[in-house]
Chain A
Amino acid sequence: MTHRLGEPGASAPGGPCRRQKGDLRGLTPPARLAVYLVAALLPWALRADDPPPAVKRLTTDGSFKQHLAWSPDGSRLLFTRIHQGRMALWTMAADGSDLKLLLEPPANSVQFDGSWSPDGKRIVFVFDQFEGTDGKLRIESIAADGSDRKEVIPHKAFEESPRLSPDGKRLVWVSTRDGNQELYSADPAGKGIKRLTSEAAPDNAPAWSPDGKRLAFSSGRHGNFEIHAMNADGTDVRRLTNHPALDYWPTWSPDGKWLVFTSNRDGNYELYRMRPDGSDLTNLTRQPANDNFATFSPDGKRLAFVSNRDGGSDVYVLTLE
């Protein structure tokens, strides 16, 4: 049996004259209250004062980056980068070296929001073909060496955020083909399209669970962006966060035990971790700058993300405890 501080019956082993830790019977009520408050608030206060965790900076160019994705073999990172006025997909080694442009953007186009196939051999991404002052988004795939570009989902509306399932048999993406952003799935060739969500509010930023059974995503259906999860067929939608701030860009840990996402609930974008049922929420970054677009290393021990903590937009890696 356990007793709370100051609770009657919390007798100390070793005799009545010897006050043990937690025994407040000899204190006045105000003193007891003070001790109780200190005990209650100390962990919170210590946590608030915790320094931000150490991170390793991988890039220093500062040019805008987003949509970070760690390759399945852990060797490379894929991301969107705006360099010299052009938005395109880039990869680099996981230590920050060997920065490479994946695809020289064809005329009047940009590419963004790529993700890896489970075997790491291909990348699916958004190809935006300019037409006049407008763009036509479609989903394409390309070999990881930048060759063999293929169209997967033709432009019907604004097609984006393609993500292949862990077994490579289904593609989930976001489309406005039914009037607002909804999640859809298809086979890897773009056939057998199935609508997964149907809400007046936007649903976006899908992320497959490692076992391929669940999809986490961001949805505005409750008035602002919250993290949700559902079965891969669109059933059993569950709301995982409930906060008036923005919750966005979920990503699963490789063991499926955690979800990391971006939230501005502390006044700036931070990376938060929670269980897949929404419990055990922790701020991982605790830093006054913006941290966003987290992706796990395949071994689950590190988290790469984009931050402007040094002024520019750069990639950092946090080693998880």
Chain B
Amino acid sequence: MRFRRARTLDEALDLLAELGDEAQILAGGTDVMIQYLDGQIAPGTLVHIEGVEELAMASVNHRTTLGPLTTHRTLATDDAFATAHPALAASAGTVGGWQTQAVGTIGGNICNASPAADTAPPLLVADTEVTLTSRRGERRVPLTDFFLERRRTALEPDELLTAIDLDPLPTGAGEVYLKIGRRGAMEVALVGLAVRLGFAGDGTVASAGIALCSIAPTPRRMPDAEAALIGSRLESGALDAAAEALRAAASPIDDARASAAYRIRILRGLLERAALQCREAATR
């Protein structure tokens, strides 16, 4: 194995053009190093991009742009993010401990494409688009189309994730990320749920975003469940219908952490809790 440092975006793209699928991008390393040490990956070259300043910029505006090197710690503790993206901030604060959050990046969390990626559900409900750049050019891909299957993404071997664009929480809307684990810290989500709801003046749901992780091979939006809530006042019948849509779209696994049956069973209660918290946050 080799190790190459990219100090600028140009250098990183040149290295990827040269090395293709021999290259493994290394940023904070909290996933890549575990996988390398465990023999799950055997890259020809580690391309270290942590020092590329162009990829570390972040701005909150009418549309938020995050450089992929933005760390979980920044997302979890920066006040501007917490106001514009409360669910994303909450999710980033649940990714491992401080040691992981201090160097682990949002770009890494996305590109690792774990079924349990905590930041994915909040990004999905914020209509996130990712920019993929190579020497051949640049393309923008909705995050829903970026996750192909477990640990597989739409990135071509010579492409680098260079920007993450998402919608801040609109006025009159609320959003939450709720994560079920066996304990309060250092937990891989048994189920992670992000809900973003907008409300009309009469209190009915005007817009809905619902996304889950740890419930299918990839994190995903749940459009049928969203449709079931739109126009409702979160009555129990509407929540029943939305939960049924979640169950229909879910294909969780049994593993050492939880059974598939348990993951399915908690969806209704989790959805209700999230929806009511959205309403409360929106009316504050």
* A and B associate: no
Q: B residues near A, CB below 8 A?
A: none
